[in-house]
Amino acid sequence: MHFTVAIPTYNGASRLPKLLEQLRTQVNTEDLVWEIIIVDNNSKDNTAEIVRQYQANWPEPYPLRYCLEREQGAAFARLRAIREANGELIGFLDDDNLPDTNWVAAAYLFGKEHPNAGAYGGQIHGDFEVEPPENFKRIQSFLAIREGGKKPHLYDPDHLNLPPAAAVVVRKQAWCENVPSRPTLGGKANGSMIQGDDYEPLLYMHKAGWEIWYHPTMQTYHQIPHWRLEKDYLISLIRGSSLCICHLRMINAKTWQKPIIIARIMLGSLRRAILHLLKYRWKVKTDLIAACEMEFHLSSFASPFYFIKTSLVSQFVRYTGKNQTGFV
């Protein structure tokens, strides 16, 4: 099989119909053998029922499949999709990210023309329910918006410049040969907003020599409701996106490099936080964008402490067989 569209979802009953209808309008796929897999990450709503209804009346030549992944977290849903997928290329789509009608064809063609590409993403535009605040473009990347121009180019994984999982294509071979079966970062789950789970597998692929590309012909539209522009949500999102920085930088680091990386993260983040405070002063409390940027600097500074803490906990669990609460 040529291509798999994988849709990890949690409580996506209200969002999936729009995405499935958009996938049914894909063009230039007549010569492709492809499939759609919905990975239900232990939803509490009627996601499974919605998918069953679609399956019962699915006239398309490409199959619509469903599987349930009970281990909570987007990273585990993506791992399940990799195991279930029959395609040599797997295109992940978040359930609130709508693709252009040529997305599948463009994604497959690029992978075929770039055999060294282990992963690649395209343009992700924001489709806002309400007008975003002034200067929102300064922080729009935290909402998986990517508008990197009209020319394909390589990403820069060494500086954590990578495509988000909201609309990324991975080569199954590159993933299966290089990505561990258990992620370090599981994704947002059980109240945690810690992220980085979408970057972690790409860094392992990069370490093995696979290229990570930006391909602008692949365009999607991220549906962003009004509440995702509220301060509390954005601050929490940015905190989770920043606390994982040290974890991510350690993935491809040698042992002797790790103390240097920690020092650079802390000193660099502290310097940027001080300069930011000097520039905006009290606006860091009243201006939404300035406040979000300050949160990024402070949480980046704290990321080595989070890395050390979780590493110690992991070692404790490994040697004692107990979790943080003391239970096996």
DSSP state of 130: S
Question: CA-to-CA distance for 237 and 250, rounded, in angstroms?
Answer: 22
**Could you read off the pLDDT of 88-100 as tens digits, one per residue?**
999 999 999 999 9
Identify the pLDDT of residue 65.
Answer: 98
Query: What integer best gives the mean pLDDT of the chain?
Result: 93
pLDDT-based confidence at residue 195 (cuts at 50, 70, 90) = confident
Q: Residue range 140-163: average pLDDT? A: 96
Q: Which residues contact 22 (CB under 8 A, 6 or more apart)?
A: 98, 99, 101
Predicted confidence (pLDDT) at residue 48 exceeds the cutoff of 80 = yes
Question: CA-to-CA distance for 247 and 251, rounded, in angstroms?
Answer: 7
Q: Residue range 3-7: average pLDDT? A: 98
Identify the pLDDT of residue 185.
Answer: 83
β-pairing, 3-9 with 34-40?
parallel
pLDDT-based confidence at residue 317 (cuts at 50, 70, 90) = low
Question: CA-to-CA distance for 145 and 168, rounded, in angstroms?
Answer: 12
Question: CA-to-CA distance for 124 and 89, rounded, in angstroms?
Answer: 19
Question: What's the token pair of residue 214?
Answer: 């930006």
Q: Residue range 285-310: average pLDDT? A: 95
Identify the pLDDT of residue 244.
Answer: 94
Identify the pLDDT of residue 189.
Answer: 55
Predicted confidence (pLDDT) at residue 221 exceeds the cutoff of 50 = yes
**Could you read off the pLDDT of 8-24 as tens digits, one per residue?**
999 999 999 999 999 99
| Lowest model confidence (mean pLDDT) among 2-16, 173-187, 279-293 | 173-187
Q: Is 121 helix (H, G, I), strand (E, B) or coil?
A: strand
Identify the pLDDT of residue 327.
Answer: 34
Predicted confidence (pLDDT) at residue 326 exceeds the cutoff of 50 = no
How many CB atoms neighbour CB 314 within 10 A?
11
pLDDT-based confidence at residue 1 (cuts at 50, 70, 90) = confident
Which of 297, 200, 206, 289 lies closest to 247, judged by CA? 200
Q: Residue range 169-176: average pLDDT? A: 98
**Could you read off the pLDDT of 106-137 as tens digits, one per residue?**
999 999 999 999 999 999 999 999 999 999 99
pLDDT-based confidence at residue 192 (cuts at 50, 70, 90) = low
Identify the pLDDT of residue 310.
Answer: 84
**Could you read off the pLDDT of 255-291 as tens digits, one per residue?**
999 999 999 999 999 999 999 999 999 999 999 999 9
Residue whose token pair is 């239900």: 40
Identify the pLDDT of residue 324.
Answer: 44
Identify the pLDDT of residue 322.
Answer: 56
Q: How far is CA 289 from CA 86, 273, 296, in A?
A: 43, 14, 11
